[in-house]
Amino acid sequence: MSERPESADALQLARLAEGWAEAIVSNDPVRIASFMADEWVIVSDAGIDPKEKFLSLVESGTLTHSAMDLRTDPRVRLYGDTAVVTGRVTNTAHYQGERHDADEWTTDVFVRRQGRWLCVLSHITPAAPD
């Protein structure tokens, strides 16, 4: 396990987290998909949803994001070609025309494949009020 946040991989993954947040706000399914492995899933209070469902909601305009802000520096932990990135995020989404503001802890699991980091799993948990 790498604890050194200054390692090249850790810095790359921290930048990747920022880029993914920007991609989500772009509402561009191709750009968002570029961060995901084919088997990516998101785990939330609603259960487990696959990449195809998430991206189809974005593509149809049923799900959009107007804000995605990292409230903490990403905590990056490396385990060989697997990385766990955790941080607190606030976001504003619109689902079926209804606005949803969220303050969440997110954990993303990345794997390195052919020199690229791709996310295989995202998990979101509502943050407790400060």
Per-residue pLDDT 10s for the chain (130 aa) are 544 446 999 999 999 999 999 999 999 999 999 999 999 999 999 999 999 999 999 999 999 999 999 999 999 999 999 999 999 999 999 999 999 999 999 999 999 999 999 999 999 999 998 7
- d(CA 40, CA 51) in angstroms, rounded, equals 5
